[in-house]
Amino acid sequence: MQLKDYQNTAIKKLLSRSKELLAQSGEKKIIFKAPTGSGKTIMTAEFLKQLIDDKEIKTPLSFIWTAPRKLHTQSKEKLEKYYEDTRAIECSDFEDLTDKQIAENEILFLNWESINKKDKNTIVKENEKEFYLSKIVENTKDEGREIVLIIDESHHHATSDISQDLIADIAPRLTIEVSATPIIQDPDEIVAVPLEDVKIEGMIKKSVLLNPNFKNILTGDNLKTALADGTDAMVLEVALKKRAEIAKAYQGAGININPLLLIQLPDRKTQQEDLIKDEVVRILKDKYKMTTENGKLAIYLSEEKENLENIAKNDQETEVLIFKQAIALGWDCPRAQILVLFRDWKSLTFSVQTVGRIMRMPEPDTGHYKQEILNHGFVYTNLTDIEIKEDMARNYVTIYTSDRIENYKPIKLESVYRLRQREKTRLSPHFIKLFLHEAKEYDLEKKIETKGQKIEISLISDYEAEGVDKLANAEIKGEAKIDTKNETDLQKLYDYFVRNNLTPFYPEDRSIGRVKEAIYYFFRMRLGMEYSDRFSEIINIVLSPKNIQHFVNVIDSTKEKYIAETKKRDIVLQKTSDWELPEMLNFGGNYVELKTKKSAMQPFYYDNKWKTEEVFIKFLEKSEQIEWWFKNGDRDATFFAVPYIENGEQKPFYVDFIVRFKNGSLGLFDTKSGNTIKDAREKSDGLQKFLKEHRGISGGIVANTNSNDFSGRWMCYKGQGKELNPEVFSNWVLLEI
């Protein structure tokens, strides 16, 4: 799996903070806060792998991983798959333990309910065989190992006094709480993954829309929605229409994904929930021809499970799933895109956990799609009491939707945007091509010796390690002879050599694989040696004392060329020649409606961040010459930008306002005030250059001569950036629109 930039950053922080805390005395706690869909389990898996590989960690470690219900099994399966090739860490259930202890670099996975002390039939109960949790922990510590406790999805199970007592009994050296909504009090460190970073990487949807096309009013934390007047049947109807619309968009784009609609019932078990379920099943059958028999409907309840096999597959036939949160905890289905909550919930506090089921993108490697409807989740509910309290939910859950005006005519603007460069922190296949070129320039083929080369024991001490066990977790002592024909030992040494020479790139498996692959290509193309047939011989040649420095030299020069080329590509902006105003924009709870007549997006929502913009909008609204105006955003290709140069680097300038005049011409205006005028010199030059190259478009930096109350004249600057002065308006022109 290729880790994302934010994942590598989080892993690096986790490793650094953990090392600092492990170097101190006493029991320590870290909160690892990461949004649903960000890959918490994979990040934790890679972090643990790097933790045990780190030479600064002197004390051997054992791990306990706890999770509620069946989530521990899913986590175990994910980690086993992640460690499949390296075998860096052993993943075990309680019955898999040997010698009544948790071995070094072994994770014991526990279902939290199974170790609840109130249950007499748990693994915590003492027995004559001395095979119970507290004894296992005691034996592990007696062997000189420290215990690291990972509490997964802690908000579901780690809050009670019983849970706290159990954690105290384990007395871990380090506790790591992994959750989107952590609950540990007074942690020693917090490592958080920003929601925005996960969105940018295309791992999760851009937002979740709550009752789109229905009037929503947020007062404080409480939301009132027009759909509250609707029946359950009406809510189901609008949700199914949206599902059909999304399915059509996937089909039109040639993407083989069948979107799933989720109907979530409250976890409580009463006759009312049964009646609602039966009514929904009846409506789906009679009106929409969706049944469990024809595979269109699936059910995930404790007493009834239908059509769940392969339901997470993107092209599976099921269109609607009825479920309860408690039953499906930890269950992931990235094609799920619509969530329905009926009035029987009584009240609900919206959080990211609430919409977690529909946050993931179905193809995270692809990321967001060109069809904007596919990049959002949808919630439909007729709840009358909705509370939106959590900051993350206020930003992520879209309460308001603004649509482009119906009489809009295309403007086809040339716009630029920056393509996200993931190659800055990881190696792409281009590294292999560069390596082969650098090997040729270095004359590597002639400088190395290939006959009778073997790794020597001194190589290990050069790395300041006691043996292969310290390098790659194998039970081989440093003073023992290394079998240079044993492919397992060789592979571990080879991996360590590559990891040791990856800086400044993250030592993730994909990047390590790129370097190894480059070396294999070199042997095949230059020396006619196929690594699948002569693996042992090749590794002995690379890591032998006579050759190793030559390979280090070529790897280093290749990295330099790779970094230089990546930087060169980074400063080149992507262009689009036919940018148009977005058809729809979504806004969270931090926005308010501003009554306007000429906004191209209706209703118009504003965050009240900049007084200059708000006053300029009022100025535009009074104009008789304007057909419409558009308040631009400042991200990716969704919004409009012109190129400008700052410190020799090309950057996108997202101009504040696009104006369409009644005569058909366009205006581009960016509002500034006070010192921000001075900071806009390079941007002003970029904008003026763009205007000269495109006929029928006017504009510039605009400011009010009275920056205190904006009661002065609105002026527009069209001169050279170096002469732009916040205190002198004599070289500006009056903005007459």
What distance in Å separates the CA atoms of residue 691 and residue 99, rounded to the nearest whole number? 77
Cβ-contact 461, 468 below 8 angstroms = no
Selection from 569, 609, 286 nearest residue 418 by Cα: 569
Cβ-contact 185, 29 below 8 angstroms = no
- pLDDT tier at 470, thresholds 50, 70, 90: very low
Q: What does the pLDDT read at residue 58?
A: 85
Give the tens place of pLDDT for each residue, 182-232: 777 788 999 999 888 999 889 999 989 988 888 887 777 778 888 888 899
Q: Which of 143, 169, 197 represents a domain boundary (last residue)?
A: 197
- pLDDT tier at 584, thresholds 50, 70, 90: confident
pLDDT above 50 for 498: yes
Q: What does the pLDDT read at residue 717?
A: 95
Q: Which carries the bigger pLDDT value, residue 351 or residue 482? A: 351
CA angle 724–571–654, rounded 5-degree value: 45
pLDDT above 70 for 118: no
Q: Which carries the bigger pLDDT value, residue 160 or residue 615? A: 615
What distance in Å separates the CA atoms of residue 146 and residue 177, rounded to the nearest whole number? 17
- Asked if residue 526 and residue 381 are part of one domain, the reply reads no
In a domain, 67, yes or no: yes
- pLDDT tier at 64, thresholds 50, 70, 90: very high
Q: What does the pLDDT read at residue 504?
A: 76
- Asked if residue 448 and residue 349 are part of one domain, the reply reads no
- Asked if residue 435 and residue 390 are part of one domain, the reply reads no
Residue 136, classified by CB atoms within 10 Å of its CB into exposed (0-12), middle (13-18) or buried (19+), is buried
Within 10 angstroms of residue 615's Cβ, the number of other Cβ atoms is 16
Instruction: Pinpoint the alpha helices (H) of 473-589.
Output: 487-500, 509-527, 531-543, 548-570
Instruction: Pinpoint the alpha helices (H) of 54-153.
Output: 71-82, 133-142
* Domain residue limits at 118: 5-197
In a 3-state reduction of DSSP, which class is residue 528? coil
CATH of the domain at 163: 3.40.50.300
Most confident residue range from 141-145, 200-204, 382-386: 141-145
In a domain, 636, yes or no: yes
Cβ-contact 500, 470 below 8 angstroms = no
Q: What does the pLDDT read at residue 535?
A: 84
pLDDT above 60 for 467: no
Q: Letter for the amino acid at 499?
A: R
Q: What does the pLDDT read at residue 204?
A: 93
CA 457 to chain centre: 43
- Asked if residue 554 and residue 430 are part of one domain, the reply reads yes
CATH of the domain at 394: 3.40.50
In a domain, 414, yes or no: no
Q: Which of 76-90, 386-400, 640-654 has the lowest mean pLDDT?
A: 386-400
Q: Which of 570, 593, 611 represents a domain boundary (last residue)?
A: 570
At a CB cut-off of 8 Å and minimum separation 6, what does 585 contact?
A: 401, 402, 601, 605, 633
In a domain, 407, yes or no: no
CA 735 to chain centre: 44
Query: Average pLDDT of 131-140?
Result: 92
Place of tokens 């280090």: 552
CATH of the domain at 663: 3.40.1350
In a domain, 657, yes or no: yes
- Asked if residue 673 and residue 591 are part of one domain, the reply reads yes
What distances in angstroms separate CA 504 from CA 424, 499, 593, one per listed residue?
Answer: 9, 11, 47
Selection from 386, 365, 388, 368 nearest residue 377 by Cα: 368
Q: Which carries the bigger pLDDT value, residue 300 or residue 465? A: 300
Selection from 664, 663, 660, 617 nearest residue 640 by Cα: 660
Share of the chain above pLDDT 70, in %: 88
Instruction: Report, in this order, helix, strand and coil percent for the chain, each rounded to 5.
Output: 35, 25, 40
pLDDT above 70 for 475: no
- Asked if residue 72 and residue 160 are part of one domain, the reply reads yes
Place of tokens 């871990």: 172
- Asked if residue 226 and residue 360 are part of one domain, the reply reads yes
- pLDDT tier at 120, thresholds 50, 70, 90: low
Query: Average pLDDT of 39-63?
Result: 92
Q: What does the pLDDT read at residue 572?
A: 67
Q: Which carries the bigger pLDDT value, residue 583 or residue 184? A: 583
Query: Average pLDDT of 653-674?
Result: 95
Q: What does the pLDDT read at residue 714?
A: 95
Cβ-contact 710, 704 below 8 angstroms = yes
- Asked if residue 317 and residue 211 are part of one domain, the reply reads yes
Q: What does the pLDDT read at residue 394?
A: 67
- Asked if residue 147 and residue 76 are part of one domain, the reply reads yes
Q: What does the pLDDT read at residue 571?
A: 60
Q: Please give the tally of structural domains in the chain.
A: 4
- Asked if residue 538 and residue 509 are part of one domain, the reply reads yes
pLDDT above 50 for 252: yes
Share of the chain above pLDDT 90, in %: 49
- Asked if residue 189 and residue 223 are part of one domain, the reply reads no
Give the tens place of pLDDT for each residue, 339-349: 999 987 777 77
- pLDDT tier at 167, thresholds 50, 70, 90: confident
- pLDDT tier at 568, thresholds 50, 70, 90: low
Q: Which two tokens stand for residue 430?
A: 């281009």
- pLDDT tier at 69, thresholds 50, 70, 90: confident
Element (H, E) at 260: strand 260-265
What distance in Å separates the CA atoms of residue 50 and residue 212, rounded to the nearest whole number? 44
Q: What does the pLDDT read at residue 460?
A: 43
Instruction: Pinpoint the alpha helices (H) of 64-142.
Output: 71-82, 133-142
pLDDT above 50 for 704: yes
In a domain, 153, yes or no: yes
Total-model pTM: 0.70
Q: What does the pLDDT read at residue 127?
A: 79
Within 10 angstroms of residue 351's Cβ, the number of other Cβ atoms is 22
Q: What is the largest CA-CA distance in the chain?
A: 94
In a 3-state reduction of DSSP, which class is residue 204? strand
Element (H, E) at 694: none
Eight-class DSSP state of 50: H
In a domain, 418, yes or no: no
In a domain, 633, yes or no: yes
pLDDT above 60 for 117: no
Q: What does the pLDDT read at residue 273?
A: 76
Give the tens place of pLDDT for each residue, 610-652: 889 999 999 999 999 999 999 999 888 889 999 999 888 889 9
Q: What does the pLDDT read at residue 28?
A: 94
Q: Which of 570, 596, 614 represents a domain boundary (last residue)?
A: 570
Q: Which carries the bigger pLDDT value, residue 221 or residue 57? A: 57
pLDDT above 80 for 17: yes
Give the tens place of pLDDT for each residue, 676-702: 888 899 999 999 999 999 988 999 999
- Asked if residue 368 and residue 247 are part of one domain, the reply reads yes
Kind of pairing between the strands at 584-587 and 400-404? antiparallel
Q: What does the pLDDT read at residue 161?
A: 60
Question: What is the pLDDT of the chain when averaged over all its residues?
Answer: 86
